A and B are shown apart, each in its own frame.
Chain A
Amino acid sequence: MSGILKIALKLLVNDKSKFIALLVGITFAVFLMIMMMSMFSGILARSSSSVYNVGAKIWVMDPAVNNATSSIPMPDYVLSHARSIDGVKYAVPIYFGNALVKLKSGTYQAVSVVGLDDATLYGRPELIEGKIEDIYAESAFVVVKDAEFKKLESPKVGTEFEINDYRGLVVGLAKVSSGGLFGIPTVYTTYNRAITYIPSMRFTTSYILIEPKSEADIPFIQQQIKKIGYQALTRDQFVHKISDFYTYQTGMGMNVLMMTAISFIVGLSISGQTFYTFILENLERFGALKAIGAKGHELITMILFQASFTALLGYGLGVGLASGLMILAKLRLPSYAAQVTYTNLIFAFVMVLIMAGVSSYIGVRKVLQIQPFDIFRG
């Protein structure tokens, strides 16, 4: 580190009260921004968990569907049509629904039920206990061992339970890549058993999952599905649609944006004001440095370094604090929906750079205005 930067650093950190105030301001702002954005990212990721967990390349649905859990059942001819399209390797139905499980303790627990195509079991989860073929056994269910697993009183293979007044038998435990958004356990069974156990409307197919012969066939498949009034979306398009729904149609996105903006303004106010006071208190010394022979660009370098150092340190502390709190929260609440993404980190970093930029701009203006003659005049 060059000598002039070392002076700048010592001037900054040796003024402990202001340095701490600056750090607290930026750390607090980063912490709030990261927390808000991470919670939002976590919610968005969880909202698409079914799409990720099933893993199909193309999802066929009613165009009015805007999130995975609110499917609109489709008639059987849609499946037949899908299977008849050139470029479709295979197409299978999948069922998503909810049921009530009566536990041994006598309490009821809502569960999310996924009914897999009987012939192919396409979209099945990875089993960690039991065998997947046992799902064909009478009353068989596979239970997902995720954060909500305990709500079913941690069943084992062979555990019996009641589901919508039918007998249920756990034949396997599975793991999935992403937990659900609504904090209820997930069970898998066959499509036919699912529509038998759960009261349904006239149509029962929640989605049709399509495996195209090649990526190039996807636009044609989408076109053919659209012709009969339905919509075929790739996995990414469906995830995007769900994200858009939660972001724009639920008000959640706007709320998060407002909270992030408020966090930014609070952080900017604290850091800007404190840094400005710091510069004002040292203004005469900067003037003395000018008189001694420091050039304008050297003083600017000092101020930018001070602002950047504080901003980066505050950023690191803020990210660390937010991550630490999320880890703690997840230890206590396994279903806690928050995830730090690179986008969040980059966004918060850019915000912090803006804070540093604005704060140092005010300081630089002041320091460049001070004339050494003012120091002589006192």
Chain B
Amino acid sequence: MGNVAIRANALVKWFGEGETRTTAVKSASFEAGFGELLYIVGPSGSGKTTLLSMISGILKPNEGNVLVEGKDIWQMKSDDIADLRLHKIGFVFQDYHLFPRLTTVENVAIPLILKKMDWNEAIKVALEYLEIVGLKDRAELQPVKLSGGEQQRVAIARAIAGHPDILIFDEPTASLDGDTGRKIVEFIKTKILNPQRCVIIVTHDSRIYEYADSIMKMEDGKIIGFEQNTLHVV
């Protein structure tokens, strides 16, 4: 494992006030390094997604701070945080959230276009990323015409197209069958992860635990365990 990519210090997040107040994350601290594939695991409602949102600059914590490559992101202005997400962090959402009215290659080009890259250049670069995920021949199709696994790979291509240092996957295998899910994570492990990149996966799919470098367990908003993976597959 290399340098620290993300450091979370005593993060607390609650929703609601008074009697309806619910604390989703309770004083969570951890760090993830470059070259590391970190899993955040735990049952539904354990605070995984809330923690993920806080460390990726999407949800402001009530207490604590998040350092991304040494910078306290929650001290930044909202536009600067958006810029940080655009340039440093790539997201793969559970439901992919691909644009059904755009072609596959246009979906992949979105982060590049948001970075003000020329349209034609962005499409060219997006095609290269589609080639990486093995879907170059599907470039002009709309996402609805792709299988679940293919859509997942398009979402991955979109996430990595912006050259992010940190990649965040939310339940990447939730809507895939076991075999496809394993293939996707294997692909992430072998093709996407590199020494300059940190990958964090939120999952409760125990079938893919074997690919993790380290696994952080959550329950009731607390981090209850952090271990190096003994089932580690290289």
Query: Are A and B associated in one complex?
Result: yes
- A residues with a Cβ closer than 8 A to B are 2-4, 6-7, 10-11, 14-15, 282, 284-285, 287-296, 298, 371-373, 375-378
| Further 19 A-B residue pairs, CB within 8 A, beyond A15-B101, A292-B111, A376-B94 | A2-B116, A3-B109, A3-B112, A7-B110, A7-B113, A10-B101, A11-B99, A288-B93, A289-B110, A293-B83, A293-B84, A293-B85, A294-B82, A294-B86, A295-B79, A372-B58, A375-B93, A376-B170, A378-B95
* Bound-complex Cα distance A152 to B87 (A): 80
Smallest CB separation, A129 vs chain B (Å): 64
Query: What are the residues of chain A within 8 A of B99 when measuring CB–CB?
Result: 7, 11, 282, 285
Q: Are A376 and B102 in contact (CB under 8 A)?
A: no
Query: What are the residues of chain B within 8 A of A282 when measuring CB–CB?
Result: 99
* Bound-complex Cα distance A376 to B53 (A): 7
- B residues with a Cβ closer than 8 A to A are 49, 52-53, 58-59, 78-79, 82-87, 91, 93-95, 97, 99, 101-102, 106, 109-114, 116-119, 122, 158, 162, 170
* Bound-complex Cα distance A2 to B118 (A): 8
Smallest CB separation, B193 vs chain A (Å): 20
Given A3-B113, A11-B102, A289-B110: A284 in contact with B59 (beta carbons within 8 A): no
Contact for B113 among A4, A15, A284, CB less than 8 A: A4
What is the interface of chain A mostly: helix, strand, loop, or mixed?
A: helix
Q: Are B97 and A285 in contact (CB under 8 A)?
A: yes
Q: Return the chain A residue nearest B54 by Cβ.
A: A373
Q: Are B117 and A11 in contact (CB under 8 A)?
A: no
Q: Return the chain A residue nearest B171 by Cβ.
A: A378
Q: Are A292 and B49 in contact (CB under 8 A)?
A: no
Query: What are the residues of chain A within 8 A of B97 when measuring CB–CB?
Result: 284-285, 287-288, 375
Query: What are the residues of chain A within 8 A of B101 when measuring CB–CB?
Result: 10-11, 14-15
Q: Are B106 and A293 in contact (CB under 8 A)?
A: no
Given A376-B58, A377-B49: A292 in contact with B94 (beta carbons within 8 A): no
Q: Are A3 and B117 in contact (CB under 8 A)?
A: yes
Q: Return the chain B residue nearest A12 by Cβ.
A: B101
A-B pairs, 10 with minimum CB distance: A293-B86, A3-B113, A14-B101, A288-B97, A293-B85, A372-B58, A373-B59, A3-B119, A373-B53, A295-B82
Given A293-B114, A294-B82: A10 in contact with B93 (beta carbons within 8 A): no
A-B contact pairs, 20 of them (CB 8 A): A4-B113, A7-B106, A7-B110, A10-B102, A15-B101, A288-B91, A289-B114, A291-B58, A291-B91, A292-B111, A294-B86, A295-B79, A298-B114, A371-B58, A373-B58, A375-B93, A375-B97, A376-B58, A376-B93, A377-B49
Query: What are the residues of chain A within 8 A of B59 when measuring CB–CB?
Result: 371-373
Smallest CB separation, B116 vs chain A (Å): 7
* Bound-complex Cα distance A375 to B52 (A): 12
Smallest CB separation, B117 vs chain A (Å): 7
* Bound-complex Cα distance A294 to B102 (A): 17
Smallest CB separation, B113 vs chain A (Å): 4
Q: Return the chain B residue nearest A288 by Cβ.
A: B97
Most A Cβ at <10 Å: residue of B58, B78, B85, B106: B58
Query: What are the residues of chain B within 8 A of A292 when measuring CB–CB?
Result: 85-86, 91, 110-111, 114, 158, 162
Contact for A4 among B53, B78, B114, CB less than 8 A: B114
Q: Return the chain A residue nearest B113 by Cβ.
A: A3
Most A Cβ at <10 Å: residue of B79, B95, B114: B114
Query: What are the residues of chain A within 8 A of B116 when measuring CB–CB?
Result: 2-3
Q: Are A6 and B119 in contact (CB under 8 A)?
A: yes
Query: What are the residues of chain A within 8 A of B118 when measuring CB–CB?
Result: 3
Most B Cβ at <10 Å: residue of A282, A292, A296: A292
Query: What are the residues of chain B within 8 A of A2 when measuring CB–CB?
Result: 116
Query: What are the residues of chain A within 8 A of B79 when measuring CB–CB?
Result: 295
* Bound-complex Cα distance A287 to B53 (A): 13
Smallest CB separation, B203 vs chain A (Å): 14
Most A Cβ at <10 Å: residue of B59, B87, B101, B117: B101
Most A Cβ at <10 Å: residue of B84, B94, B97, B158: B97
Given A3-B122, A298-B114: A291 in contact with B94 (beta carbons within 8 A): no
Query: What are the residues of chain B within 8 A of A291 when measuring CB–CB?
Result: 58, 85, 91, 93
Smallest CB separation, A9 vs chain B (Å): 10
* Bound-complex Cα distance A139 to B113 (A): 82
* Bound-complex Cα distance A355 to B219 (A): 51
Q: Return the chain B residue nearest A18 by Cβ.
A: B101
Query: What are the residues of chain B within 8 A of A15 when measuring CB–CB?
Result: 101
Given A284-B97, A375-B93, A376-B49: A293 in contact with B117 (beta carbons within 8 A): no
* Bound-complex Cα distance A285 to B83 (A): 18
* Bound-complex Cα distance A27 to B205 (A): 52
Smallest CB separation, B26 vs chain A (Å): 18
Query: What are the residues of chain A within 8 A of B53 when measuring CB–CB?
Result: 372-373, 376
Query: What are the residues of chain A within 8 A of B49 when measuring CB–CB?
Result: 376-377
Q: Are A7 and B102 in contact (CB under 8 A)?
A: yes
* Bound-complex Cα distance A377 to B170 (A): 10
* Bound-complex Cα distance A12 to B102 (A): 10
Q: Return the chain A residue nearest B123 by Cβ.
A: A3
Q: Return the chain A residue nearest B118 by Cβ.
A: A3
Given A3-B119, A6-B119, A376-B49: A294 in contact with B58 (beta carbons within 8 A): no
Q: Are A10 and B85 in contact (CB under 8 A)?
A: no
* Bound-complex Cα distance A372 to B82 (A): 11
Query: What are the residues of chain B within 8 A of A285 when measuring CB–CB?
Result: 97, 99
Query: What are the residues of chain B within 8 A of A298 when measuring CB–CB?
Result: 114
Query: What are the residues of chain A within 8 A of B117 when measuring CB–CB?
Result: 3
